[in-house]
Each structure stands twice: as structure tokens, then as C-alpha cells.
């Protein structure tokens, strides 16, 4: 039922997100028209349009739709052209971004997840995305600077490399930071000045540094 007629349940999910504070119409429309069930194991497809994070294997999760929408809203506040995503995962957040900005670059350290995400994005005809197998802590220097960088896992501290790769004229980093206790931070760059604010407490899997899988 979900696979053949997902639009109804996806639309209800978007309405639910609107009722809890998501106001950007473009974000809500992307949520309402994106087949989230295609980004997870078939065994969990019946939960695809619940507002909850779900496991996708390799110790990773597909983020809660509210958090995907919230972080995308924060990205779009400065009307970016070029966005770097750290942690492709299932590719769901990537697909939402790709519908709303000109160019998306995404880095994933687990090669099997990157491969699956690439296939999904191609199937959905989203061709403004470039994927890379790499260490998210290092960003993607050759494609910098970025108007926005969105991180989908929690770092123990803000990676310096990501700050360096922000557009000096208002580039914005959206990142969960912390261990047991995490905060969603927004860091905005103006030249060599970085302004930081918190968007509240969150819970993400850790952003692993170093070894690729």
C-alpha cells in the first residue's frame, strides 16, 4: 500500500511536521513528494512515514523527518547555491536538499551506504548531486567554498576543516555537537569571524573520524 500510493501518507507526514513548527513551504512540499520508504530496508517500509529515526544498517540511521526538515530550513535561510552534506547515509536528506538547492555535494565514509544512496538518487532522477567516499571530518576541499554545510551525525567538537570550507560571505554550518548530550549548532561565517547559536538539544549517531568502511 505504501509503495504504490505513498503520496497520501507522505502528505500527512508533511502536515504533521507543519503542526510542530516547520513552516518553509518548499521543505514541506519536498517531504510530501519524496518516497521515504525507498531509503530504508523493506522490512521497515511500513514505518517510513512515521516521524521517527530508523536503522538502515552499519550502525547508521535515517534521520527523523522533523530533524531533516528543521535542518533543511536552517540551510535555506541564506538561499545557498552550493551545499555540502557530511554523512550521506540512506540518501534521504540528500534527496530533500537536491530538490531545493542548485548543487549538493555529499560525503559518506561507508562505501556500501554511498553506493545504495547513489542508486536511489539516480532512480529519483536527481542529478545535481555529487557523492564521495571519504572522511566527513575533512569535508571536500576541492569543491569549497560552500554556502552551507549540513552534518548528519554528531561531532565531539566542530571540525576546523569544515569551518575553513564555508563561504567567507555568510557561509553557514549546521551541525550536532556533543557526546551523551548534544546540541544542534548553527555557525555563520563572515570573513574570519564565526557567530554561533544553538537550536536546542538533539540526538544523533556519532560522526566518526578517520578509518573508512
Instruction: Give the residue numbers marked as catalytic.
Output: 63
State the pairing for strand pair 60-62/54-57: antiparallel
Nearest of 108, 116, 19, 119 to residue 69 by alpha carbon = 19
CA angle 29-35-41, nearest 5°? Answer: 145
Residue 116's contacts (CB-CB under 8 Å, 6 or more residues apart) are 90, 91
| Structure-block grid coordinates of residue 105 | 555535494
Full DSSP string of 20-45 = TT---HHHHHHHHHS-GGGGS-GGGG
**H/E segment holding residue 93:** helix 92-98
Amino acid at each position: 500500500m505504501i509503495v504504490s500510493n505513498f503520496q497520501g501518507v507522505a502528505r500527512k507526514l508533511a502536515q504533521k511536521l507543519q503542526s510542530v513548527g516547520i513552516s518553509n513551504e518548499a521543505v514541506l512540499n519536498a517531504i510530501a513528494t519524496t518516497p521515504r520508504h525507498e531509503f530504508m530496508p523493506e522490512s521497515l517500509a511500513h514505518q517510513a512515514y512515521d516521524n521517527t529515526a530508523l536503522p538502515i544498517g552499519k550502525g547508521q540511521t535515517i534521520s527523523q523527518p522533523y530533524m531533516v526538515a528543521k535542518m533543511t530550513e536552517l540551510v535555506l535561510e541564506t538561499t545557498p547555491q552550493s551545499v555540502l552534506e557530511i554523512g550521506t547515509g540512506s540518501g534521504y536528506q540528500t534527496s530533500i536538499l537536491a530538490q531545493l538547492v542548485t548543487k549538493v555535494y555529499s560525503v559518506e565514509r561507508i562505501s556500501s551506504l554511498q553506493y545504495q544512496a547513489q542508486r536511489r538518487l539516480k532512480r529519483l532522477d536527481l542529478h545535481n548531486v555529487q557523492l564521495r567516499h571519504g572522511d566527513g571530518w575533512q569535508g571536500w576541499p576541492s569543491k569549497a567554498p560552500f554556502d552551507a554545510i549540513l552534518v548528519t551525525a554528531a561531532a565531539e567538537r566542530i571540525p576546523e576543516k569544515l569551518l575553513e570550507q564555508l563561504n567567507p560571505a555568510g557561509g553557514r554550518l549546521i551541525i550536532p555537537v556533543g557526546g551523551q548530550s548534544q546540541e544542534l549548532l548553527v555557525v555563520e561565517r563572515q570573513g574570519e569571524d564565526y557567530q554561533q547559536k544553538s537550536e536546542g538539544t538533539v540526538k544523533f549517531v556519532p560522526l566518526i573520524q578517520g578509518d573508512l568502511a
